[in-house]
């Protein structure tokens, strides 16, 4: 693929944003390639864990404001900008909706749309060079960018999100970790290695359990109340009792050994 590199190994798909000369800034073609890959993952039983990272010195510097508006066609500039932002938001939604847990391997700048995509991942592994840049109000934009105004308050709380947004803050890796945005810290240049190790850990877990847990976590963010969430949880947990994963998990516990779940 032109602007993405894909690597597959033992149930793990690594998606690498590959425009290092532009710090992996997002163009329309990057977005469409991402959507193609994520749509395939919706029906891919062989991929158990996904890693998203960027090539070169940074994870992603946000929308490519120079190369992101190619012009041409019948659309006006406003329509093209709207479509570009909307499609970037569709990537955010798809990162949440695919059944596989997604790990972001972060280094260097994580800016603009890149922040939205990183926070849409389930877990984040970062090296010391990582810095989140949320510059929107300094640029005359709102912080409502590709789901960011929905994601960040749920991760750090509404008051802290407001401070970050209103002050257009930059968060170094220590501050991001303090706020709970980072799952694991690695040595410089070792973020992908750390993400692969974390993916290896997740591969030892129940496939049914991981997929359904992600589904429940997503639902809990929008759930209107505890009782509806309890009803959904009860149905999913009941189904778990009829899976091969539960048989293996329980047997391994009794036999005091690590479980060996089948890749389905």
Compute mean pLDDT per 10 residues along the chain, 264 residues long, and list them: 92 97 95 98 96 98 73 73 90 96 98 96 98 93 92 96 96 98 98 98 97 95 79 86 92 93 79
* Verdict on whether the full-model pTM lies above 0.85: yes
170-172, strands of its sheet edge to edge: 109-111, 131-133, 170-172
pLDDT at residue number 73: 63
Alpha-carbon distance 23 to 25, whole Å? 6
CA 124, distance to chain mean position in Å, is 8
pLDDT at residue number 232: 84
């Amino acid at each position: 693929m032109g602007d993405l590199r894909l690597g597959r190994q033992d149930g793990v798909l690594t998606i690498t944003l590959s425009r290092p000369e532009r710090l992996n800034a997002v163009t329309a073609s990057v977005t469409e390639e991402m959507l193609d890959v994520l749509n395939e993952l919706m029906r891919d039983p062989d991929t158990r864990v996904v890693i998203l990272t960027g090539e070169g010195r940074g994870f992603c510097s946000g929308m490519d404001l120079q190369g992101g508006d190619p012009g041409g066609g019948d659309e006006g500039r406003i329509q093209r900008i709207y479509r570009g932002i909307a499609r970037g938001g569709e990537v955010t939604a798809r990162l949440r909706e695919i059944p596989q847990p997604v790990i972001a391997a972060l280094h260097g700048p994580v800016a603009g749309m890149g922040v939205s995509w990183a926070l849409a991942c389930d877990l984040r592994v970062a090296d010391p060079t990582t810095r989140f840049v949320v510059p929107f109000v300094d640029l005359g934009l709102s912080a409502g960018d590709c789901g960011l105004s929905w994601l960040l308050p749920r991760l750090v709380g509404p008051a802290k999100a407001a401070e970050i947004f209103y002050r257009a803050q930059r968060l170094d890796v220590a501050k991001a970790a303090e706020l709970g945005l980072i799952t694991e810290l690695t040595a410089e240049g070792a973020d992908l290695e750390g993400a692969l190790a974390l993916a290896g850990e997740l591969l030892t877990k129940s496939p049914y359990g991981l997929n359904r847990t992600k589904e429940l976590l997503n639902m809990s963010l929008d759930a209107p109340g505890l009782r509806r969430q309890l009803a959904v949880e009860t149905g999913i947990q009941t189904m778990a009792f009829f899976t091969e994963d539960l048989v293996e998990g329980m047997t391994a516990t009794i036999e005091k050994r690590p479980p060996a779940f089948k890749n389905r």
